[in-house]
Amino acid sequence: MRITTKGRYAMRAMVHLAAVDRTSPFPAGQIAVAEKISPEFLEQIFYRLKKAGIIRSVRGPRGGFFLERDPGTISVKEILNAVEEDIQPAPCAHSTSDCPRGEQCRLAALWQNLYKLQDSYLSSVTLKDILSEHVSSLPPEPAAKS
């Protein structure tokens, strides 16, 4: 799994937006400067986040962006999905029908289980968790076999 620049920038912008006062719109240009993101690229990212219903915008001289919902209800997975990040470890992570090797692949179950773990983890972490620095940890490592 590799999160692209688009996904990382979307996360940085959303954490920034979640951290500011939500009583008035916050200009995208200020986020772009603070997070060192190209304004044009941030515009593309915000377009997708708005289309997904995660943020909303206000036009005009005092315009900007708001979170559409409370930060505790917006997961990392939802943000990454909105900007069309494909976070599956292999093409067969959803189904062996997506794999040219099909049922003969001995690794399909591995990739599918890995996908379920990461999907569950990214679904469980919200913007509020990130802001409060209480990001849930991964399950404990299995005990060593003797």
**Domain map (residue ranges) of the chain:** 5-87+126-131
- With b for 16 or more beta-carbon neighbours within 10 A and e for fewer, the 7-25 pattern comes to bebbbbbbbbbbebeeeeb
60: left (phi over 0), alpha (psi -120 to 50) or beta: left
Query: Tens of pLDDT along 28-49?
Result: 999 999 999 999 999 999 999 9
pLDDT at position 23: 77
Residue 135 reports pLDDT greater than 70: no
* Beta strands 55-58 and 64-67, pairing class: antiparallel
Q: What is the pLDDT of residues 63-101, one digit of tens each?
A: 899 999 999 999 999 999 999 877 777 777 776 666 777
Across 43-127, the runs of DSSP E, i.e. the strands, are: 55-58, 64-67
**Second-level CATH architecture of 5-87+126-131:** Orthogonal Bundle (1.10)
> What does pTM read for this prediction?
0.82
